[in-house]
Amino acid sequence: MRARVLVRPKAGILDPQGIAVERALPALGFGGVSNVHVGRLIELDVEDTSQLDDMCRRLLANPLIEDYEILEAPSHAPA
Partner 1 sequence: MKFGVVQFPGSCDDEDALHACARVGDAELLWHGERDLRGVDVVVVPGGFSYGDYLRVGAIARFSPLMEAVIEFAEGGGPTLGICNGFQVLCEAGLLPGALLPNAGVRFLCRQVDCEVVNTDTPFTRGLKREEILSMPVKHTTGRYYAPAEELAVMEQHGQVVLRYAGANPNGSSNDIAGVSNRDGNVFGLMPHLEHAVDPIHHSEDGLKLLVSAAGMVTGV
Q: Which residues bind partner 1 (CB under 8 A)?
A: 13-14, 16-17, 19-20, 40, 59-60, 62, 64-65
Give Cα 38 to chain centroid, integer Å.
Answer: 7
Using the minimum distance from each CB to partner 1, give the nearer residue, 14 or 77: 14
**Distance of closest approach, residue 17 Cβ to partner 1, in angstroms:** 6
**Is residue 36 classed as helix, strand or coil in its secondary structure?**
coil
The residue (of 12 and 78) whose beta carbon lies closer to partner 1 is 12
